[in-house]
Amino acid sequence: MISNITQGKGYGGVLRYCEQQKGAELVATNCLGDKSSDIAKEMYETREMYEGRAKKTVFHVSLNPAQGDQIRDAREMGEDYLKEMGLDPDQHEYAMYKHNEKGREHYHIIANRISRDGQETWKDDFSKRRSMDACRELEKKYQLHRETGQDKDKKIKRSYGEKYEKYQAARYGLEEHPKQTLRRGIDDAARDAKNRDEFEKNLTDKGISATYSRGKDGNIRGVTFTLDEENTNGMKNRYAGSSLGKDYSYNGVNQKIEAQQEQSHERGRQEDLTQQEQSHKREQQKQPQQEQSHEREQQQTKGRSGSSNKQLGKAGVHVQNEQKTGKSANQKIAEQQHRKSIYDADVQAEMQRAGRGKGEGKGEEIEY
């Protein structure tokens, strides 16, 4: 199924075109009227309640099933498509026409981007991409065929923008797209890996596996990453590395690992240099301390030498004095004892003479 989306300002013109085509048939609408003019009037009335700035409030899509596909319930299919696009038929007015051109049926859906209460506007971000996703869902549900090369014919290029990935993740109830989960996991795994074995082990710890494709020469040509299904809520979980971005291709991953190796070597070199610098600083700090200690020892040695010299000087003077007088200490003591004995003898003789002169034998005591 191929879809083609356009948007416009006026409801009446596109509704008249769909109604007036040869063989046209109104197959479904949620408006009160069944003529294009009545449907347009109802949509205009809804837009008058809207106070926003949106100018192009008309959504128009043509759905073209593959040759041979039969649509049994066009209304159900049309409303399923609108729901996939976020244009809930309960909230937005629409009309669906069937055309038959050269024996091939296709359908036109015109919807009001303004909600029935006039409060909200349908957001048309990535509308073509979203429409293609909606067609894939319809093909699965209604067993329709997908035409070969239809995406290329319509020049709808797949977008890997962050904004669109968020939209897709929200559809599956995920906080982030599996691609973003893979990118983050690959970055973390490469950051802590020194070689491919460590890289693959880190991936496994994060619930990611890597499969390598080889060329005829046996050399690795590419890599595919797969995220555990339990983390994707049924969303596609297997992506080629190149589809995640240039940095996640096989060559890109190798560059990440090589860069990590270089950074690891550089960190090791810087650590060695830092240790050498710190060791040199410690040696420099020790040198002044050693010099101060040496100076203190020299000063102490000088002090002890000076004190010894003083003592030796005193002893020398004493010896010199003795040499001058020609007497030693023992000789001086002997002389003092000799003088004392002579004195004692003199005192004794004096006492005896005094006794004879005053009456010898009377027992008088003589003071002296």
Domain boundaries, the chain: 2-159, 180-300
pLDDT at 138: 93
Cα distance between residue 207 and residue 284, in whole Å: 53
pLDDT at 363: 44
Cα distance between residue 160 and residue 240, in whole Å: 13
What is the percent of the chain with per-residue pLDDT over 70, rounded to a whole number? 81
Q: What is the mean pLDDT of the chain?
A: 81
Burial class (CB in 10 A: 0-12, 13-18, 19+), 59: buried
Q: Which of 248, 209, 258, 213 is nearest to 229 (CA)?
A: 209
pLDDT at 208: 93
pLDDT at 15: 95
Higher-scoring residue by pLDDT: 247, 290: 247
Q: How confident is the model at residue 327 (pLDDT cuts 50, 70, 90)?
A: low
Burial class (CB in 10 A: 0-12, 13-18, 19+), 109: buried
Q: How confident is the model at residue 125 (pLDDT cuts 50, 70, 90)?
A: confident
Least confident residue range of 35-49, 55-69, 286-300: 286-300
pLDDT at 210: 92
Q: Which of 225, 201, 202 is nearest to 212 (CA)?
A: 225
Average pLDDT for 333-356: 75
3-state secondary structure of 43: helix
DSSP letter string, 44-82: HHHHHT--S-----EEEEEEEPPTT---S-HHHHHHHHH
Higher-scoring residue by pLDDT: 157, 14: 14
2-159: CATH number: 3.30.930
Least confident residue range of 140-144, 230-234, 288-292: 288-292
Quick one: how many helices (H) and strands (E) in the chain? 11, 8
pLDDT at 364: 45
Question: In terms of DSSP bridges, do strands 104-112 and 208-214 run parallel, antiparallel, or are they unpaired?
Answer: unpaired
| Amino acid, single-letter form, for residue 353 | R
Average pLDDT for 106-125: 91
Asked if the model's pLDDT at residue 21 lies above 70, the reply is: yes
Cα distance between residue 59 and residue 319, in whole Å: 132
Q: Compute how many other C-beta atoms are within 10 angstroms of the C-beta atom of residue 327.
A: 13
Q: Compute how many other C-beta atoms are within 10 angstroms of the C-beta atom of residue 250.
A: 18
Q: Compute how many other C-beta atoms are within 10 angstroms of the C-beta atom of residue 116.
A: 16
Asked if the model's pLDDT at residue 217 lies above 50, the reply is: yes
Q: How confident is the model at residue 79 (pLDDT cuts 50, 70, 90)?
A: very high
Least confident residue range of 63-67, 145-149, 233-237: 145-149
Least confident residue range of 37-41, 202-206, 278-282: 278-282
User: Residues 185-199: pLDDT tens digits?
Assistant: 999 998 888 888 889
DSSP state of 207: T
Are residues 258 and 264 in contact, defined by beta-carbon separation less than 8 angstroms?
Answer: no
Q: Compute how many other C-beta atoms are within 10 angstroms of the C-beta atom of residue 15.
A: 24
Average pLDDT for 121-135: 87
Cα distance between residue 208 and residue 180, in whole Å: 13
- For residue 220, the surrounding DSSP H or E stretch is strand 220-227
Cα distance between residue 131 and residue 82, in whole Å: 9
